[in-house]
């Protein structure tokens, strides 16, 4: 039976509403992250010594890189959960969470056991004044105790994403960041605990978010039957798939961290003004990335469901609908940066030389949303299909391309060469995954 034009239009409208219903909470929860960072900085900025700000900045940077590397817990859990949902397998939907929580807690406790050598390595790489290093070390020794909770929250958020409960993802993030902000104010400004107060606030907030996430999973009907369901939970093929996907995503993420760190390190060699200007422009991109992440996570969930259901039609609709809105957002972001970028730069810095330097390189950032939207979307599609090997290989090829470009272009063109190298890195990420994209659809059975 053929569908009328009205039926087709209604079906399309419903799909687009679903995309926004899933993406909007993810975008909002992402925007709460820089807000928390701003509050942390503002609170310690009221203390008399600048070393407090430096200590929090260095300490937070260590955990940003550490926890970013374990982001696979959220990504892989979301993909496996969405596929189980699409296949209508309620038992496997719950087991996907349980396996990831067990892995998250094991890794979290391993971090606690290895905190001494991890701290020595981190502080050997991040040098600061004695006063800054003392405050950063204090922050590290307190904040590290949040590791099991932080990684457990990653697994829970991935599970909620896979179940398309993005409103609950927003709730967990709001609980985490609201408690953190309130305790920041209480411990630092009220009790006078300084950097220790900021770190303690983060630890308490992470465990509170873990408790809320576990409670939400329980309310959604999951009873954590780790002992009674152990045969299914620890099935060899399932554990092998989990470790394989997580391992590939871990390598992919470390390569991404290295590429960004290399960009910053080389920029630092080009002078303080260039380093500051690049930092301002990359901060613009950080905000854009939260929007693009919203549609990438939505693509991840919908592709996972389509893969689990074995439906090419759902798979194509998921890609088409999410990519359309991601492109609209990317185009809007580029337009805003082109029109308002100079004014925004002046809000970030009062230093005239930094402002002029940032404005000189602003065109690179204007182009970046439209260039990077493809790698964001393709990342979401591939993790939804749990095709992590291609993600790993694509990232390694892109990193190799960036390294070659840096070697050739930076000596020739300075900071323009640095930005062109980053552009090549982003473009190669999208290009490699785009070439491999047809593999996913070919693996799906043709719709009847």
Helices (H), 270-387: 272-309, 312-348, 352-384
pLDDT at 289 (0 to 100) = 87
Give the integer Cα–Cα distance in Å for 138 and 145: 12
pLDDT at 53 (0 to 100) = 67
How does the average pLDDT of the chain come out, rounded? 86
Percent of the chain with pLDDT over 70: 88
Query: Three-class SS of residue 415?
Result: helix
Neighbours of 221 (CB within 10 A): 9
Neighbours of 347 (CB within 10 A): 10
Give the integer Cα–Cα distance in Å for 255 and 108: 22
Percent of the chain with pLDDT over 90: 46
Is the pLDDT confidence value at 371 over 60?
Answer: yes
Q: Quick one: which of 394, 411, 280 has its CA closest to 343?
A: 280
Q: What is the mean pLDDT of residues 388-410?
A: 96
Q: Whole-prediction pTM value?
A: 0.81
Q: What angle do CA 252, 250, 222 make, to 5 degrees?
A: 130
Q: Annotate 72-126 with DSSP letters as a single string.
A: HHHHHHHHHHHHHHHTT-HHHHHHHHHHHHHHHHHHHHHHHHTHHHHHHHHHHHS
Neighbours of 168 (CB within 10 A): 22
Q: What is the mean pLDDT of residues 168-189?
A: 91
Condensed to tens digits (0 to 9), the pLDDT of residues 196-211 reads: 998 999 999 999 999 9
Q: Quick one: which of 108, 113, 107 has its CA closest to 146?
A: 108
pLDDT band at 1, cuts 50/70/90? very low
Condensed to tens digits (0 to 9), the pLDDT of residues 220-263 reads: 988 777 656 666 677 777 778 777 887 888 899 889 888 887 88
pLDDT band at 95, cuts 50/70/90? confident
Is the pLDDT confidence value at 351 over 60?
Answer: yes
DSSP state of 47: S
List, in order, residues 6 or more apart from 150 with CB less than 8 Å away: 67, 108, 206
Q: What is the mean pLDDT of residues 79-83?
A: 89
Query: Three-class SS of residue 271?
Result: coil
Least-confidence region, from 171-185, 391-405, 425-439:
171-185
């Amino acid at each position: 039976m053929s569908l009328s034009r009205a039926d087709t239009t209604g079906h399309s409208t419903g799909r687009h509403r679903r995309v926004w219903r899933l993406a909007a909470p993810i975008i909002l929860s992402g925007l709460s992250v820089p807000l928390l960072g701003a509050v942390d900085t503002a609170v310690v900025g009221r203390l008399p010594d600048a070393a407090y700000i430096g200590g929090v900045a260095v300490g937070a940077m260590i955990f940003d890189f550490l926890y970013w590397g374990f982001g696979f817990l959220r990504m892989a859990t979301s993909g496996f959960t969405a596929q189980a949902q699409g296949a209508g397998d309620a038992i496997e939907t719950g087991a996907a969470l349980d396996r990831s929580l067990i892995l998250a807690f094991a890794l979290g406790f391993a971090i606690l056991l290895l905190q001494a050598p991890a701290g020595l390595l981190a502080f050997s790489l991040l040098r600061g004044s004695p006063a800054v290093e003392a405050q950063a070390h204090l922050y590290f020794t307190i904040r590290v105790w949040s590791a099991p909770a932080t990684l457990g929250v990653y697994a829970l958020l991935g599970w909620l994403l896979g179940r398309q409960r993005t409103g609950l993802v927003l709730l967990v993030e709001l609980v985490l960041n609201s408690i953190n902000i309130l305790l920041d104010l209480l411990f630092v400004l009220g009790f006078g605990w300084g950097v220790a107060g900021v770190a303690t606030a983060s630890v308490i907030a992470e465990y509170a978010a873990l408790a809320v996430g576990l409670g939400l999973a329980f309310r959604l009907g999951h009873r954590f039957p780790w002992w009674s369901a152990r045969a299914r939970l620890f099935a060899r093929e399932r554990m092998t798939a989990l470790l394989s996907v997580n391992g590939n995503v871990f390598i992919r993420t470390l390569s991404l961290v290295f590429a960004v760190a290399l960009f910053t390190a080389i920029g630092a060699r080009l002078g303080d003004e260039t380093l500051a200007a690049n930092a301002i422009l990359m901060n613009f991109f950080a905000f854009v990335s939260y929007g693009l992440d919203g549609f990438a996570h939505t693509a991840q969930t919908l592709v996972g469901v389509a893969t689990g259901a074995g439906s090419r039609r759902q798979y194509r609709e998921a890609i088409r609908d999410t990519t359309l809105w991601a492109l609209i957002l990317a185009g809007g972001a580029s337009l805003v940066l082109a029109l308002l970028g100079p004014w925004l730069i002046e809000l970030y810095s009062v230093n005239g030389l930094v402002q002029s330097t940032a404005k000189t390189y602003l065109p690179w950032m204007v182009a970046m949303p439209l260039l990077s939207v493809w790698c964001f979307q393709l990342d979401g599609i591939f993790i939804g299909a749990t095709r992590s090997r291609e993600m790993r290989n694509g990232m390694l090829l892109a990193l190799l391309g960036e390294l070659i470009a840096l070697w050739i272009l930076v000596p020739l063109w300075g900071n323009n060469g640095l930005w062109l190298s980053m552009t090549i890195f982003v473009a190669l990420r999208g290009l490699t995954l785009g070439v491999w994209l047809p593999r996913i659809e070919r693996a799906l059975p043709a719709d009847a």
